[in-house]
Amino acid sequence: MDKKEIPFLTASQLSKLIEKKAVSPVEATEAYLDRIQEVDVKLNSYITVTGDQALESARRAEKEIATGVNRGPLHGVPMAVKDQFNTVGVLTTGGSSILSDNVPEEDATVITKLKSAGAVLLGKLNMSEFAMAEIYNHPYGTPRNPWDLERNPGTSSSGSGAATAAFLCASSLGEDTGGSIRGPANFSGLVGLRPSHGRVSRHGVLGGSWSMDTVGPISRSVEDAAITIQAIAGYDPKDAYTRNVPVPDYRKALTRDIQGVKMGVILERMDSPTLDPEIRETVAKAISVLGEMGALSEDTSIPLAPNAGALTMSILSVEWSNLHRKLFEENFSELDHNNKIRFLTGSIIPAQFYYKAQKIRAALRQQILDALQKVDVLVLPTGPVTAPPVESFPGIQSKEHALTGLAGRISFTGPFNLAGTPALSVPCGFSSTGMPIGLQIVGRPFEEETVLKLAYAFEQSTDWHNRRPSL
């Protein structure tokens, strides 16, 4: 096939062609590197492109495949990862100038797993400083949304969203604390899977919140998300928070048979005053499509869901500030304006307020788990708005601006970080301005396969995932 067309294949499609030897890993890697050089000047999605290392890995994969070695569906597939994951011998900045010379001596566990799966790493993707969303100053250039270059491509995993949507990698890894996998998926027309807390190791990942950080895929199809999570999931003795539970074959769950699956439609999110009516209508239509395929829906109440934004930011601010205290105190002047405020705020929140937030969090988690005893999944919009304009002013500009974080976007994704449940965003339509809209599907802890199954059935019955930005 035409080499220039290779980047427009999904990771799964490319994997099958590589396995059949119809496309070589070297050919695919060269095609992606060419496209990165051509397109990324507009997007700033990469901080570091590891061209030489990628080609070396591709040649190694090619030799292995030629001799009959098959490491799985990511073997020879070019991927990229958020610059939050340690990579031996490769710059890892965390999106900050403070770490501009940080070259780790050890790979993060997820990087080790990707390499073992035979994936080809193209480079490190741009992100908000120390994985905090809505920063003003991006030291490595402000990431742009391929659907509209004046808009945000996502939350802290912004580079992962931009690169994947613009066909600058076959699949990518992000990290989600309050919504930074599903946020880029929602804003950029992708599939983003935040797995259960404890499903994927965070060893070697620049952390923000011990109790909410979760690594997962940002991909162009549900199958791509399935093969990516398959490669990185599992218990890791280096991360005490991973759970030693079996990892299922996620691709086996990808059937269009969803007859009788029970969906709980979260009333507090569908009726939210912060939800754009156009998004409400689009998501309602998506739920109807699933109903036509045999899934059953019923209204479900999660009374504390609207408080999730405030809870998330209260807990995250304390944990993030304390985790990085020494580094931030020594380099305070280099921090982004908004992160200076977050660090100072997190440093002075009294212990009793953190304790109260955790108690309310426990109650919210129980509401979600109770609801999931009555239904198989919960469904809701991924966010209340489409991708907003790129931040052009530091700090909070208005009450409405503040609500976007506290009562708005984070309150749609944050409940499930607080609860530790798996949650996925899948494209379900476009706004009148041409921006993607996402449907969020939430499952029981460690039942990612149910979430993937429902998302796959919806995806295969619609064509939203086939649309391309005009870059």
Active site residue 24: no
Dihedral sign computed on CA atoms, order 394, 187, 175, 409: positive
Burial 395-431 (b: 16+ CB within 10 A, else e): eeeeeeeebbbbbbbbbbbbbbbbbbbbbbbbbbbbb
Q: How far apart are the C-alpha atoms of 240 and 251, rounded to whole Å?
A: 27
Active site residue 116: no
> Residue 59: CB partners within 8 Å, gap ≥ 6?
25, 26
| Catalytic residue (one of 12, 57, 156, 188) | 156
> Residue 459: CB partners within 8 Å, gap ≥ 6?
191, 221, 222, 426, 427, 465
Active site residue 180: yes
Per DSSP bridges, beta strands 436-442 and 377-381 are: antiparallel
| Catalytic residue (one of 12, 45, 82, 453) | 82
| Catalytic residue (one of 15, 180, 188, 221) | 180
Q: How far apart are the C-alpha atoms of 265 and 253, rounded to whole Å?
A: 22
What is the phi/psi pair of residue 151, to 5°?
-115, 160
* Bridge partners, residue 325, by sequence: none
Under 8 Å between Cβ of 146 and 166? yes
**How many of the other CB atoms lie within 10 Å of CB of 142?**
19
Residues in the chain: 471
Please identify every residue annotated as catalytic: 82, 156, 180
